[in-house]
Amino acid sequence: MVNIARPIRHHNLITVALLFLLAATSSAQDWIRTGTGLGVEKVRLAASDFKPSTTDANNAALLKTFNDVLWNDLDNAGIFDLVSKSFYPLQEPGQPSEVNFPAWNSPPPNASMLAFGNLGAAAGKVTVQGWLYDVKNQASPQVLGKQYTDTPTTDAVRVIAHRFADEIIFRLGGGVPGIAESKIYFVSERTGHKEIWVMDYDGANQQAITHLGSISLSPRISPDGSRLAFSSVTKSGWEIMMYSFDLNRMVSFPRFGGMNLSPSWSPDGKIAFSSSRNGYPNIFLVDASGGNSRRLTNDHGPDVSPAWNRKTGAQIAFVSGRTGLPQIYTMEADGTNVQRLTDQGYAVSPNWSPNGQFMTFSWMRKYGPGEPGSNDLYLMDVASKQWVQLTHDAGRNDFPCWSPDGRHIVFQSHRSGSDQIWAMLADGTNVKQLTFKGANTQPNWSWK
Amino acid sequence: MAAITDIYSEHGQLRRPLAWSFGLHVAFAAFVVLYAVFIHGLRGEGWGSGGGGDAMGATLVSSVPLPANPAPTENVLATESKGLSKSQPTVPEKEPEAIPIPDKNTKTKIKPAPVKTATKRKPEPEPPESNRIPYGEGGPVSGPYSMIAGGAKGGFGFTGSGGDFGSRYSWYVQAVQRKVTENWLKYEVDPRISEAKRVYITFDIARDGHPSNVQVEQSSGVPSLDQSSVRALQRIDTFGPLPPDYSGSKVSVEFWFDYKR
């Protein structure tokens, strides 16, 4: 620029003035120029073990929990290529000043990002400092720097690790909040009755919510996480029940009569469910308190298992047997524009992805005598109806449910010999078992 | 043999009219020449420009050769009746010269205009046709039905006075790139297209990471590809907030999409 500007200055002052104007306007903002085809590999991330910052005796146990949880969260995120710990340099940093850039950004670790920090318990408090460094950019490496303080318990440290992992995932994952603090609700039979349980997204902290001593099924958490709807056998038959986490108890919900099953929350808090109060099971819509009941479908074929488009709140997927075997259909939230998604076999349990683009469901594509169909999970692009099979040769798989970040699917599988809750990335990889005790079914992932 | 005798007999019948025709043509030509010489010659002298009169005379002389073709006119008359062997060669001689030239012209005019430099290199009819598929002419889609080849060369550049957004926050740039690529649904592009020119999209990212002001900066010439690129951006709610220590209020992005089936 200098070389060009000088000769011009001699010739024409106006040109120079224009150049300055241009420079001034272009300096108002930064430009990014990028495109497709440049390779979209996962971020190569190294997660160094955090180091003790105090000499407290509790540090070792807390650090083990913290490091394990952090590593698992980053591993589960599905957006990182985690560098194996065996490649790490001997000197792992606990402070920014201790980061040896060449040791991390060149092989064997060859990491582009490094998470590190320290943890110390002292005087009834635990303090965690964590950093995320772009180790390929020595000039301004810090992407993230966080400090957390809480009580020195493993549970508190677990939460801190989840939060730090979510921060990293949020930064590097394009603004999609991490799911490390999300919950999964499910049905467990381990007490002898089918009750509603909850656990962390990674299977930790499993706790019972209901103690009805009856049969409770299809738990569905509300978008704000304050209420849980499910169906349960009562004196008047199958009814929709409601549990409040604000009050930590059951709250009243209207009894409709007939068989009322599979509630589903819309993003704005309405509930769709199937009810046979008029004879055949049809989809009904009520508001959060159970009022303003409206019938959405009106046909003889059983219509069950509604699932909202979580992005728009304007469409509902459901299962209908109007043509014989159950198939997946979609309709507008007012019951119009019914469209069939699946064309054959036996398709149930639709669940709409958070971005509204995909439907996951359980499908026996070959069903009937002489056709040993496998019960597998499928992913369908709703607009194009293109689908892909997610599970293969692994027992009966059913009740898929999306994670809030749209990167994971939790489901029920019989592949281990009993019904258990499993989770996987939405492309069918990285399958992990979350529950082991008793029989656990019908998982439902929280909205955030 | 019968045809030949017929031709002779017709010649015999036409000899008289031909003589009349020839005589009248000559008379008419003579009249025209005389008229021109007298009238225009006088006028030209009257106007005082002898050159003009000469020029007119020259053009008129050129019309004289018409009567100077008495022999061909006989043939022409013969072709009207039966002289196929003679009339046909004269016509095709003109056509092959006249038609191919406009063909080449129209092809080269139409084809390079909508698309590529490649058509200039290959004026042959076949390659331009394969490029033309976008316009609905149909044609074989060769190559596997697969995702985009990752072989494109390039990188992201940055301008502006600061100009260091990309170097300071390359992780953010990569996140943007990853997210747009994830949200680009290639099946939205017309399936008849196997390859297209790069389409450039520009948009701004606000501090909260929300993309806005999405525009097609340079079209690929394929409407469905342009639209799928814009839709990819419209599908994205946020790229995540801009780095906290970045001072600007927004970042502008120029994003290109390379489509190859």
| DSSP H/E element including B199 | strand B199-206
Interface test with B, best of A21, A29, A36 (most B CBs within 10 A): A36
Q: Where are the alpha helices (DSSP H) in A154-270?
A: 154-172
Interchain pair A35, B148: CB under 8 A: no
Interface test with A, best of B172, B236, B250 (most A CBs within 10 A): B172
Report chain A's C-alpha Rg in angstroms.
27
- State how far the Cα of A16 lies from the Cα of A28, in Å rounded to an integer: 19
One-letter amino acid identity for A98?
E
Question: pLDDT at position A167, please?
Answer: 93
What rounded mean pLDDT belongs to chain A? 88
Question: pLDDT at position A147, please?
Answer: 93
Question: pLDDT at position A331, please?
Answer: 95
What rounded mean pLDDT belongs to chain B? 64
Is the pLDDT reported for residue B171 higher than 90? no
- Report phi then psi at A203, rounded to 5: 95, -5
Question: pLDDT at position A441, please?
Answer: 94
Mean pLDDT for the stretch of residues A342-367: 91
A389: left (phi over 0), alpha (psi -120 to 50) or beta: beta
User: Among A188, A185, A191, A232, which Cα is nearest to A410's?
Assistant: A185
Instruction: Read off the pLDDT of residues A307-317 as tens digits, 9 standing for 90 and up.
Output: 999 999 999 99
Is the pLDDT reported for residue B154 higher than 50? no
Mean pLDDT for the stretch of residues A342-347: 90
Architecture of the domain made up of A183-445: 6 Propeller (2.120)
Question: pLDDT at position B186, please?
Answer: 79
Q: Is B209 in contact with B241 (CB distance < 8 Å)?
A: yes
Q: Is A145 in contact with A99 (CB distance < 8 Å)?
A: no
Q: Is B171 in contact with A143 (CB distance < 8 Å)?
A: yes
Question: pLDDT at position B99, please?
Answer: 58
Question: pLDDT at position A224, please?
Answer: 93
Interchain pair B174, A33: CB under 8 A: no
From chain A, the residues in CB contact with B250 under 8 A are 29
User: Among B235, B231, B236, which Cα is nearest to B257's?
Assistant: B231
From chain A, the residues in CB contact with B254 under 8 A are 31-34
Instruction: Read off the pLDDT of residues A98-140 as tens digits, 9 standing for 90 and up.
Output: 988 889 988 888 898 999 999 998 888 999 999 999 998 888 8
Interchain pair A355, B243: CB under 8 A: no
Question: pLDDT at position B13, please?
Answer: 72
**Does ipTM top 0.85?**
no
Domain assignments of chain B as residue spans, ordered by start: 2-98, 165-257
B231 touches chain A (CB under 8 A): no
| Residues on A contacting B at a C-beta cutoff of 8 Å | 23, 26-40, 43, 112-113, 134, 136-137, 139-140, 143, 170-176, 355, 357, 381, 383-384, 386
Question: pLDDT at position B40, please?
Answer: 59
Beta bridge partners of A362: A348, A377
Q: Is A386 in contact with A394 (CB distance < 8 Å)?
A: no
Question: pLDDT at position B126, please?
Answer: 44
Question: pLDDT at position B163, please?
Answer: 61
Architecture of the domain made up of A43-172: 3-Layer(aba) Sandwich (3.40)
User: Among A96, A104, A152, which Cα is nearest to A128's?
Assistant: A152
Q: Is A175 in contact with A164 (CB distance < 8 Å)?
A: no
Is the pLDDT reported for residue A344 higher than 70? yes
Residue B105: strand, helix, or coil = helix
A51 Cα distance to chain centroid: 30
Interchain pair B176, A136: CB under 8 A: no
B173 touches chain A (CB under 8 A): yes
User: Among A438, A446, A375, A376, which Cα is nearest to A408's?
Assistant: A446
Domain assignments of chain A as residue spans, ordered by start: 43-172, 183-445
Interchain pair A36, B166: CB under 8 A: no
Instruction: Read off the pLDDT of residues B49-97 as tens digits, 9 standing for 90 and up.
Output: 444 444 443 444 444 444 444 454 444 454 454 544 544 555 555 555 5
B215 touches chain A (CB under 8 A): no
Check if CATH label 3.60.15.10 holds for domain B165-257.
no
Is the pLDDT reported for residue B198 higher than 90? no
Interchain pair B156, A30: CB under 8 A: no
Cis-peptide, bond into residue A108, ω within 30° of zero: yes
Give the range among A198-207, A250-259, A295-304, B54-63 with minimum mean pLDDT.
B54-63
pTM of the model: 0.71
Question: pLDDT at position A279, please?
Answer: 85
Is the pLDDT reported for residue B47 higher than 70? no
CA torsion angle A295 A301 A303 A304 (round to 10): 140
Beta bridge partners of A444: A185
- State how far the Cα of A424 lies from the Cα of A407, in Å rounded to an integer: 9
A269 band by pLDDT with thresholds 50, 70 and 90: very high
- State how far the Cα of B14 lies from the Cα of A260, in Å rounded to an integer: 106
Interchain pair B156, A38: CB under 8 A: yes
Q: What tokens appear for A351 in the block?
A: 């669940």
Is the pLDDT reported for residue B17 higher than 90? no
Q: Considering CB atoms only, which of A36, A112, A136 is closest to B258? A: A36
B165 touches chain A (CB under 8 A): yes
Interchain pair B253, A34: CB under 8 A: yes
Interface test with B, best of A21, A25, A29 (most B CBs within 10 A): A29
